[in-house]
Chain A
Amino acid sequence: MKPKPNSRTFTRLLAVLLAFTFVVAACGSDDADSGDATVDTDLTVAIVAPSASEDLAFTQSMVDSVKAMGITPQITDGTFIVDDAAAAIRGYAEDGINVVIAHGTQFGGSLAEIAPDFPDTTFIWGTATDTQGLDNVFAYYPEADQGGYVNGVVAAQLTQSGTIGVVGPVQAGDAVAYIDGFAAGAESQGATVNITYTDSFSDVALAAEAAQAHLTNGADVLTGTAQMVVGAVGVASENDIPWFGTQANQTPLDEGLVVASQVYHWEVVLKEMFALIEDGTKGGQTFALTLENDGLVIEFNDGYELDGDTTKLAEDTIAGIIDGSISTGG
C-alpha cells in the first residue's frame, strides 16, 4: 500500500472534507448544521495567544475559527510569556472589548486575578477543563484523543512493517491526549506504536532526528504534535513516509504525504458561548470539542488516495466513537 500522491495540484492547499460530513451529520443530529459558521453579533472579540497566528497549529486553529464566524478579532500573538499575556488580557478588558479569548492553559492563573475586576467582560479560556469557579469565564478543551484514535486506526491500515512512529513535545496537555488516543487506535488494529517525546516544543532539529530514529527502527508511518514537528514532517517527506497531523490541517507541509489531520474547529463551541453571552450568561460553563459536535474534524487530504475499505473503517470508527461503542482510552 504505497502512497499515491496523484493529484499534486498546488492550487488546492486546503483539503476538503470527504464523505464524513454525511456520517457525522446523521449521527450528531441534535447539532446545528455545520455548513455556515457565521454568527450575527455586535460583540467585539480579542485573542491573546502564545504562538504566531499562522503557526499551522494551536494558535492558528483559534484565529481561523473566530474568522470563520465572520468576526474580525484583535490579536496579540506570540505572548508565551505569561506576564505579557496577562498585560494584554487586562489591556483588552480595559479597552472595553466584550469577549477576550485567552488561548493558553498557562494564562489561567492570570485570568483568576483579572476576571473578577471586569465583571462585564467575558473571558474565554482554554485549553482548560474548568472555569476556576469564575462566572464570567467560559472554558474549552479538545478531546484530542478522539481524533488521535481515528488517525491511529487509519495509520495502522497503511503500515506494512506494523510499526508506527510518534514524535511528541513535552508530555503534557492535549499532546498526551492526542498521542495516547493515536496509540490506542493503532494498537486496536494490531500495529506497534513507538512514542518519542523530545521534551521540547521548539527544537525542530531534535524532532527531525526523533523521526529519523523511528524510521531506523522500522516505522513506515509517522505522526506527531506541536509546532516543532515540522522537522519530523521534513523527514517523512524525504523518505516518502505517510504523515498524520493534528491541531490544524497540515496538508500544506506535504501535499502528497499528509494523509489526514485532526482539525480543531473552535467556532462550534464559540457559537454556543456567544449565544449564551447574548442571552446574558457571561460564563461559568465548560465546552469540549468532540467528533460528535463537529468541533473535531478529521480532514483528509485528497492528494493522498485511500482505498475504500480504509475510508469505510475510518467512517465506522468515527461513528463508533460518537455512539460510545468505541472507547479511545482517554
Chain B
Amino acid sequence: MKRLVGAAVPLLAALFAFLFGAIMLLAIGANPWDGLVAIVDGAYGDGDALATTAVKAMPLILVGAGITIAFRASVVNIGGEGQIVAGALLSTVVALALPDLPALILIPMVLLAGLIGGGIAGAVPGALKAYASVNEILSTIMLNLVMVQLMNYLLRGPLIDPIEVERGTRIPQTERLSDNAAMPTLIDGTRLHLGVVIAILAAIIAYIVLWRTPLGFRLRAVGHSPEAARAAGIKVKRHVTYALSISGSLGGLAGALLVFGSEGQRMVTDGSSAGFTGSAGFNGIVAALFGALHPLWTIPSAFLFGGLLTGATNMQRVLQVPAALAVALNGLVVIFVISSDPVRSRIDRFLSSRGELNETLKSEKPVDNQEIDA
C-alpha cells in the first residue's frame, strides 16, 4: 500500500504537469495527446529509444549519486557542470598522451583520469569550505564558470586538433581520440555503451560506501551533526573535503564516459558547458532529489528523468514544436513532482510506515546546509 502511494502521488503530479504542458501545446496548435505519445514513444517506445534514454540517464546517475554523498555530509554541490568538464578534460589529455596503450589498460586509465579530474574540481570547493569558510554554493557556481573557460582555452589552444590549425578552420575540438579508449557498445546498432553499466555500478558502490563502510558512517555523522561528529573524534573539515571530492569525482567519471561513450570519441566545445554536459550537472541534482537522496533510488529516478529528456526531444521532432517547450515542460514536471513529495510523505505517515528503506531514509535525512565552525 505504502509503495503504491509512494508511486501514485508523484505520477499524479507528473500528470498535472502534463496537463499544463497540454495547454501549452494546444496554445501553439499541436495535439496534446500526440505530444504525450511522442514523449513516451521517444523515451521507452523501442529498444533504440530505451538505449538513448539509458545513455541520457548515465551522467544523471553519476552526478546524482555524487550529490547524494555530498548532501548526506551536509554539503551542497552545484558544481556538477564544472566537475564533468574537469573529468572529461583530464581523461582526454590521457587518451591524447597514450593513444597506443591496449584497451584493457587505456580504458581504466581514462576512467581513473575522469575520477581524478572531477575529484580535484570537487576538492577545491570542499577544502575552501572546510578550511577557509567559503560557502560551497558560491564556490561551485563560480568554478563552473571557470571550468567552461578552461575547456574553451584548452580546446582552442593546446589540445586542438592540429588539422584544424593547418586548415585554418580552428574548430575548437581535439583530434579523434584513440579507439582503444572507446567504451564498447553493448548492443550493436544502438547507442547503449558500457558506460551505462559503469554508472549503475558506481551508484551501487556509492551506496555501499555510504552505508557499509566507516568512511560512509563518518560522512553521514558529519552531515547529521558536525559538533557531535567532532566530539566523537571525527575530523570534520577533512570529511567535508572528502565529501565534495567524492561527489566531484563521480561527476568527473561522467565526463570521461561522455567523451569516450556517448559523444563521438572527441571533445568539442560550443562555448558553453551545457553543450557538452547536456546540463547533467543540474539535472543530476533533480535526479538525486527525486530519488530521495538515496544512491540506489537515484538510478530509476535518472531513468525517468532521462526518459523525459529524450522523450521531449522526440516530441520536438515529431510535432515540430520548439525545443523551448520541452524545456518548460521539464521545469513543470520538476515543480509538480517535487511539490507532491511532502504530500506523499504525509500520506506515508498516515499509513504508519514500516518499510525499512524509508525508515532509514527518514532517520538519515541530513541537517541541511549547516555551517561548520572551526
Contacts and interface: CB of A to CB of B under 8 A. Distances in A.
B55 interface: yes
A77 B152 contact: no
A132 B107 CA distance: 24
Interface string A33-54: 0000000000000000010100
Contact of A172 (B271, B279, B314): B271
A50 B270 contact: yes
A240 B324 CA distance: 35
A92 B42 CA distance: 12
Interface in A86-114: 86-88, 90-92, 94, 104-106, 108-113
Contacts of B344: none
B178 to A, nearest CB: 14
Contact of A201 (B155, B268, B271): B271
Contacts of A94: 48
B158 interface: no
B268 to A, nearest CB: 5
A129 B310 CA distance: 30
Interface string B301-321: 000000001100110111010
A172 B264 contact: no
Interface in B140-184: 149, 152, 155-156, 167-173
B72 interface: no
B169 to A, nearest CB: 5
Interface residues of A, number: 47
Nearest to A174: B169
Interface in B184-235: 189, 191
Interface in A163-205: 169-174, 176-177, 199-202
A141 interface: yes
Given A87-B52, A170-B152, A79 B168 contact: no
B156 A171 contact: yes
Contacts of A177: 168-170
A1 interface: no
A182 B191 CA distance: 42
B276 interface: yes
Contacts of A202: 271-272
B274 interface: yes
A82 B275 contact: yes
Contacts of B262: 83
Given A129-B167, A171-B156, A173-B171, A83 B263 contact: yes
Nearest to A94: B48
Given A80-B274, A83-B263, A113-B264, A88 B170 contact: no
A277 interface: no
A81 B310 CA distance: 11
A74 B264 contact: no
Interface in B40-84: 42, 48, 52, 55-56
A109 B265 contact: yes
Interface string A55-95: 00000000000000000001111111111101110111010
Contacts of B310: 84, 87
Residue in A88, A106, A129 whose Cβ sees the most chain B Cβ within 10 Å: A106
Given A90-B48, A105-B171, A170-B152, 7 more contacts: A82-B263, A83-B262, A87-B310, A106-B270, A108-B173, A108-B268, A171-B156
**Nearest 6 A-B pairs (CB), nearest first?**
A109-B264, A78-B323, A172-B172, A170-B271, A81-B278, A201-B271
